[in-house]
Amino acid sequence: AQSVTQPDIHITVSEGASLELRCNYSYGATPYLFWYVQSPGQGLQLLLKYFSGDTLVQGIKGFEAEFKRSQSSFNLRKPSVHWSDAAEYFCAVGAKNAGNMLTFGGGTRLMVKP
């Protein structure tokens, strides 16, 4: 069975600082990997996705993530955080040939200090 771990429940960074949110997954084959962001009272918005090919993927809002098979990780990064990035971030793994079912991590809540 697939699983996703986001080790950091809360992270606080200063505006303008760099950001890295960690995600580790467990899956027997090459996974589909996703990062979603959820603002308060909103649904989940897709930031970026990895299916194959280049292991560094670019997403919306200046985010990027790197797939590292050897570490079973898919960490999300942003070089300079803006106050509007404060939200909850979810990493998810999708199982190919299993209905594209998503398993979500527990989420990381990002707070941005002025």
Q: How many whole angstroms separate alpha carbon 90 and alpha carbon 21?
A: 10
Q: How far is the CB of 102 from another protein (least distance, A)?
A: 6
Which of helix, strand or coil describes residue 23?
Answer: coil
> Which residues of 39-86 form beta strands (DSSP E)?
44-50, 56-58, 64-68, 73-78
Report the residue number, 26 or 42, with the smaller CB distance to another protein: 42
Residue with the two structure tokens 């505006």: 15
Nearest-approach distance from CB 100 to another protein, in angstroms: 5
Which lies closer to another protein via its Cβ, residue 43 or residue 114? 43
Shortest CB 40 distance to another protein, Å: 11
Contacting residues toward another protein, per CB under 8 A: 32, 34, 36, 41-46, 49, 51, 90, 96-107
Q: Which is nearer to another protein, 14 or 52 (CB)?
A: 52
Residue 44 beta carbon to another protein: minimum distance, rounded to whole angstroms: 4
Rg of the chain over Cα atoms, rounded to whole angstroms, equals 14
d(CA 68, CA 74): 6
Query: What tokens were used for 1?
Result: 């069975």
Which residue number, 53 or 114, has a Cβ lying nearer to another protein? 53
